[in-house]
């Protein structure tokens, strides 16, 4: 009997579950009333029947109404063994002034389903006087005892003070023209922060912020942050989590000072229920804008130098390679002049060559490799030369390859010179260099050909006849024209 009773209970539960699943999911978006007072709120409500509200788009921005935050509701009913449920998310709007506003048509994706909502007009009238209960005991006696456990109908939310800030920082306050400095735009949250915070439409906001932040007088090397992940840091002995939103190294192109203006980042900041309940809504969505402080970086001119306007700025070294140190005239070899270090690798120009009296040089192949990591930009720029010696002898390639730069760490100009020595054997090929410019057998005949003037061949009578006929036709046309 006990086993039969247990089986009946299981079957009953299965029937209830099946009945619940058979009820189709329904999604509905409800707009607020057509007319409200200036001191009243207007709402957009998303309701899902018989399913959880798993995902939904951002609520629309409505001109004339300001978003004030979201709240949620849920209910479950069992009638004759059939279970139905609903869950709602409500966005509350506050009128900005009296008048008639137009709510435009919009589309929201709810649980993967697109819902089209037609627009409407809403009249914002004068403030409405709110009625208050005259019986001081009515609030106590009209309260459902279950509200003490499941949550009261009207929950009071409080704003908790946040311990967070938004800032643009640089690793240097004073730089030379061409010297790189790292700028970081980040949001910082203290480890002791108790206010719930969340990013809001970050991609859209960041695009507008960067239009204001990026200086026009700098070359930019962007670190291209794709995933925003928190990183623990200490500021003045206090622990924070840093969320980097943007980071780049800037290289000033002139001595004009660089000003990063104050910019704002809007965040979702939740208000917390003053008396949290077990099943009720315990937080309410609200917004707060955090502002960064203005940041100025001063730029200094480079010290006087004949090549001040054309040198690279950075901390660089030389790495050079050659296929051989001993070669015969007329034979080719390759030489690599590799500049590596920290700085604006893209702006590095090829080295200045000495007089190529003993060598034939070809334009170099250029390759650059740039690494952006840990707030700095470093890399290598390689110049691969193809050379042919024309004269035998002992040569120091440092006489031919020199590269001048300014080092901001030492505040001095420096020169990278080749230290490779080359031994060239064989015969001189200077004459071959001249003969290699031979223009060919056509020009060799110039000195032997008679340059006296000769008459041209017999006249072409057909051409004479054609020219005469054309002249006669023109004369006849002119005569008839003037005769009229």
pLDDT per residue as tens digits for the range 411-452: 999 999 999 999 999 888 876 654 444 445 555 555 555 666
% of the chain at pLDDT higher than 90: 42
For the cut 80, the answer to whether the pLDDT of residue 27 exceeds it is: yes
* Per-residue pLDDT, 299: 96
Q: How far apart (Å, rounded) are the C-alpha atoms in residues 420 and 319?
A: 11
For the cut 50, the answer to whether the pLDDT of residue 244 exceeds it is: yes
Determine which of 302-311, 443-452, 474-483 has the lowest per-residue pLDDT on average: 443-452
* Per-residue pLDDT, 467: 74
* Per-residue pLDDT, 137: 35
* Per-residue pLDDT, 252: 95
What pairs with residue 182 in β-bridges? Answer: 249
What are the Cα distances from residue 72, in Å, to 32, 65, 160, 367, 443?
16, 20, 20, 59, 95
Centre a 10 Å sphere on the Cβ of residue 46 and count the other Cβ atoms it contains.
24
Identify the DSSP state of 286. E
Q: How remote is the C-alpha of 283 from its chain's centroid?
A: 33
E strands present in 149-237? 157-158, 164-170, 174-176, 181-190, 197-199, 218-222, 230-235
Inter-residue contact 324 to 333 (CB < 8 Å): yes
Determine which of 127-131, 167-171, 286-290, 313-317 has the lowest per-residue pLDDT on average: 127-131
Residue with tokens 């480890």: 191
Between these two residues, 69 and 97, which has the higher pLDDT value? 97
Nearest to 254 by CA among 205, 208, 199, 313: 313
Q: In the predicted model, what is the mean pLDDT of residues 23-28? A: 67
* Per-residue pLDDT, 455: 54
Q: How far apart (Å, rounded) are the C-alpha atoms in residues 249 and 347?
A: 14
What pairs with residue 378 in β-bridges? Answer: 342, 371
Chain mean pLDDT for the chain:
80
Altogether, the residues listed in the chain come to a count of: 484
What's the N-to-C CA distance of the chain in angstroms?
Answer: 134
Q: How far apart (Å, rounded) are the C-alpha atoms in residues 464 and 34?
A: 97
For the cut 70, the answer to whether the pLDDT of residue 76 exceeds it is: no
Give the strand pairing for 376-389 and 359-361.
Answer: antiparallel
Between these two residues, 356 and 332, which has the higher pLDDT value? 332
DSSP 53-90: ---B-PPPP-TTEEEEEEEEEEEEEEETTEEEEEEEEE
Between these two residues, 384 and 79, which has the higher pLDDT value? 384
Express each pLDDT in 139-151 by its tens digit: 333 444 444 444 4
* Helix/strand/coil for 213: helix
Q: In the predicted model, what is the mean pLDDT of residues 16-42? A: 71
User: Confidence band (pLDDT; 50, 70, 90) for 79?
Assistant: very low
% of the chain at pLDDT higher than 70: 76
Whether this model's pTM surpasses 0.95: no
| 298-335 CB burial, b ≥16 within 10 A, e <16 | ebeebeeeeeeeebbbbebebebebeeeebebeeebeb
Q: How far apart (Å, rounded) are the C-alpha atoms in residues 314 and 300?
A: 15
| 162-193 CB burial, b ≥16 within 10 A, e <16 | bbbbbbbbbeeeebbbbbbbbbbbbbbbbeeb
Give the strand pairing for 264-273 and 230-235.
Answer: unpaired
Q: What is the dihedral of CA 409, 412, 413, 415, to 10 degrees?
A: -70
Centre a 10 Å sphere on the Cβ of residue 416 and count the other Cβ atoms it contains.
21
Inter-residue contact 263 to 291 (CB < 8 Å): yes
Identify the DSSP state of 412. E
Determine which of 57-61, 290-294, 327-331 has the lowest per-residue pLDDT on average: 57-61
Q: In the predicted model, what is the mean pLDDT of residues 242-253? A: 94
Q: What's the token pair of residue 281?
A: 């809504």
User: Confidence band (pLDDT; 50, 70, 90) for 81?
Assistant: very low
Inter-residue contact 163 to 192 (CB < 8 Å): yes
Q: How far apart (Å, rounded) are the C-alpha atoms in residues 385 and 404?
A: 18
Q: In the predicted model, what is the mean pLDDT of residues 304-323? A: 92
**Radius of gyration over alpha carbons of the chain, in Å?**
42
Nearest to 151 by CA among 284, 283, 278, 272: 278
* Per-residue pLDDT, 202: 87
Express each pLDDT in 179-238 by its tens digit: 999 999 999 999 888 888 888 888 889 999 999 999 999 999 998 887 888 889 999 999
* Per-residue pLDDT, 83: 55
Q: In the predicted model, what is the mean pLDDT of residues 161-189? A: 95
* Per-residue pLDDT, 11: 42
E strands present in 253-364? 258-260, 264-273, 283-291, 295-300, 312-322, 326-328, 333-343, 352-353, 359-361
Residue with tokens 């920290």: 342
Q: What is the dihedral of CA 444, 447, 448, 454, to 10 degrees?
A: 120
Q: What's the token pair of residue 170?
A: 């640089």
* Per-residue pLDDT, 117: 92
Q: How far apart (Å, rounded) are the C-alpha atoms in residues 67 and 268?
A: 11
212 CB-side CA count, 13 A: 15
């Amino acid at each position: 009997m006990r086993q039969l009773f247990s089986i009946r209970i299981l079957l009953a539960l299965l029937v209830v579950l099946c009945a619940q699943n058979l009820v189709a999911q329904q999604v509905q978006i409800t707009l607020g009333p057509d007319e409200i007072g200036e001191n009243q709120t207007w709402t957009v409500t998303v309701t899902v029947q018989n399913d959880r509200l798993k995902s939904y788009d951002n609520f629309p921005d409505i001109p004339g109404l300001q978003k004030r935050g979201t709240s949620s509701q849920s209910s479950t009913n069992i009638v004759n063994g059939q279970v139905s449920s609903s869950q709602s998310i409500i966005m509350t709007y506050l009128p900005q002034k009296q008048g008639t506003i137009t709510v435009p048509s919009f589309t929201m994706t709810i649980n993967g389903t697109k819902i089209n909502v037609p627009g409407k007009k809403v009249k914002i009238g004068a403030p409405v006087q709110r009625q208050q209960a005259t019986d001081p005991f009515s609030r106590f006696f009209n309260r459902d005892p279950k509200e003490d456990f499941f949550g009261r109908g009207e929950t009071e939310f409080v704003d908790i003070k946040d311990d967070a800030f938004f800032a643009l920082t640089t690793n240097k306050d004073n730089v030379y023209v061409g010297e790189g400095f790292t700028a970081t735009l980040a949001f910082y949250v203290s480890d002791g922060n108790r206010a719930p915070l969340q990013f809001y439409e970050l991609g859209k906001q960041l695009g507008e912020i960067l239009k204001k932040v990026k200086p026009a007088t700098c070359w930019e090397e962007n670190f291209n942050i794709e995933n925003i992940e928190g990183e623990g840091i200490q500021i003045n002995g206090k622990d924070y989590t840093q969320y980097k939103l943007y980071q780049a190294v800037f290289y000033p192109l002139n001595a004009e000072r660089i000003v990063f203006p104050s910019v704002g980042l809007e965040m979702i900041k939740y208000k917390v229920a003053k008396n949290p309940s077990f099943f009720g809504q315990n937080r309410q969505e609200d917004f707060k804008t955090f502002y960064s402080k203005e940041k100025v970086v001063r730029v200094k001119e480079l010290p006087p130098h004949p090549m001040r306007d054309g040198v690279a700025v950075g901390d660089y070294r030389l790495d050079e390679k050659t296929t051989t140190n001993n070669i015969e005239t007329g034979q080719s070899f390759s030489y690599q002049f590799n500049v590596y270090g920290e700085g604006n690798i893209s702006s590095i120009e090829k080295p200045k060559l000495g007089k190529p009296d003993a060598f034939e040089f070809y334009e170099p192949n250029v390759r650059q490799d740039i690494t952006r990591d840990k707030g700095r930009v470093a890399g290598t720029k390689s110049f691969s030369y193809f050379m042919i010696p024309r004269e035998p002898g002992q040569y120091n390639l440092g006489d031919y390859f020199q590269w001048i730069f300014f080092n901001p760490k030492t505040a001095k100009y420096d020169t990278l010179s080749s230290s490779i020595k080359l031994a060239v054997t064989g015969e001189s090929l200077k004459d071959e260099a001249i003969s290699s410019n031979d223009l060919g057998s056509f020009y060799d005949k110039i000195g032997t050909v008679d340059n006296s003037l000769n008459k041209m061949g017999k006249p072409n009578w057909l051409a004479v006849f054609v020219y005469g006929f054309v002249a006669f036709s023109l004369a006849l046309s002119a005569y008839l024209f003037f005769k009229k």
